[in-house]
Amino acid sequence: MLDGFGRKIDYLRISVTDRCNFRCQYCMSENMTFMPKTELLTLEEITLIAERFIGHGVKKIRLTGGEPLVRRDMSDVIQRLGRKVKSGDLEELTLTTNGTLLNEYASHLAASHVRRINVSMDTLDPADFAEITRGGKVEQVLGGIEAAKQAGIHIKINMVALRGFNQEALLPMAEYCSKNGHDLTVIETMPLGDVGADRKLEHISAEEFIAPLLARYSANPIAHKSSGPARYMAIEPLGLRLGLITPLSQNFCDNCNRLRLTTDGKIFMCLGHNAHVDLRAAVRNEGIEAVDRLLQKALKLKPLRHDFNAQLDGSADILERHMNVTGG
């Protein structure tokens, strides 16, 4: 699949639920209103749409949320898509999670051919973790990570860079990841949804955020490439692979290979734009074959770049969608 700018699209991110057992301050407001369950894609609809995308050339799928593992039939979603990896139709099935339910799901993920996952964790400090997640327990996440590691799943920690909050947490996080064999990725905040915070005040570039780490250790760019937009460096002598996702300070849109399927069945061609096509309505009213037509429309509508910088400086409106609806 090629979009209107000649970019190869082979990666689909599926948000299976907008619900989460955390209320991270940069992601949600404290009192969220979630979608009625009747508006969510069913298990059958998710798998049928995913199969249609695989048939058109999607090679990698990431399951996200919200917190994907809070969905009751999530084990069935994972198992069905995992069969596509086993058959060779899909190269990779991955997951982004907050880690709280990994003790329960780690063995099932491994058995379903999930070889690596991303775990969102912005600090190791229990008090700061509880503050940023509005009540989460970092010990629960650490226990889940260990369970996934023991199941043979490779872990990458996603750490959102927040000015004045967790920059001092970077060194302990890097050393924790080094000790346990995990990768670490630093992610700049993105202006999505009203979360009750001043985006300009909380934003910090990834380069500025990692300055304390580089003051102590050396960094060498490496050619490693994952499915997403991160660029990587080796932090020595830690032996840590560090990724940077920099949507605002160093735009990566030229190489975008992704589409996003939301909780309610919409395909968003870009996280930073509102343009979308509605697969749920089409599938329910016309049948699964409607996906083919709408997929071609989506590829033509995919924009060249996001508008996050304009949204951050106030020259464009902040998107009303929260991250938990579109998927991380």
Q: Is 327 annotated as a binding residue?
A: no
Q: Is 177 annotated as a binding residue?
A: no
Q: Is 202 helix (H, G, I), strand (E, B) or coil?
A: helix
Closest Cα partner for 178 from 224, 222, 232, 235? 235
- Angle at the Cα of 109 from the Cα atoms of 233 and 135, rounded to 5 degrees: 75
Sheet holding 258-261: strands in order across?
A: 218-222, 231-236, 240-245, 183-188, 154-161, 116-120, 92-97, 60-64, 11-15, 258-261, 266-268, 276-278
Q: Is 256 annotated as a binding residue?
A: yes
Q: Is 80 helix (H, G, I), strand (E, B) or coil?
A: helix
Q: Is 240 annotated as a binding residue?
A: no
Q: Is 120 annotated as a binding residue?
A: yes
DSSP notation for 204-267: --HHHHTHHHHHHSEEEEE----SSS-EEEEEETTTEEEEEE-TTTS--GGG--EEEE-TTSEE
Q: Is 268 helix (H, G, I), strand (E, B) or coil?
A: strand
Q: Is 96 annotated as a binding residue?
A: yes
Closest Cα partner for 168 from 210, 137, 126? 210
Q: Is 23 annotated as a binding residue?
A: no
C-alpha 67, offset from chain centre: 10
Q: Is 52 annotated as a binding residue?
A: no
Q: Is 214 annotated as a binding residue?
A: no
Q: Is 156 annotated as a binding residue?
A: yes
Two tokens, residue 26: 């940069």
Q: Is 259 annotated as a binding residue?
A: yes
Q: What is the largest CA-CA distance in the chain?
A: 59
Q: Is 20 annotated as a binding residue?
A: yes
Question: Hey, which residues does 242 pair with through a beta bridge?
Answer: 184, 233
| Residue list for the binding site for S-adenosyl-L-methionine | 26, 66, 120, 190
Binding residues: 13, 20, 24, 26-27, 62, 66, 96, 120, 156, 190, 253, 256, 258-260, 270
Show binding-site residues for GTP: 13, 62, 96, 156, 258-260
Residues tagged in the binding site annotation for [4Fe-4S] cluster: 20, 24, 27, 253, 256, 270
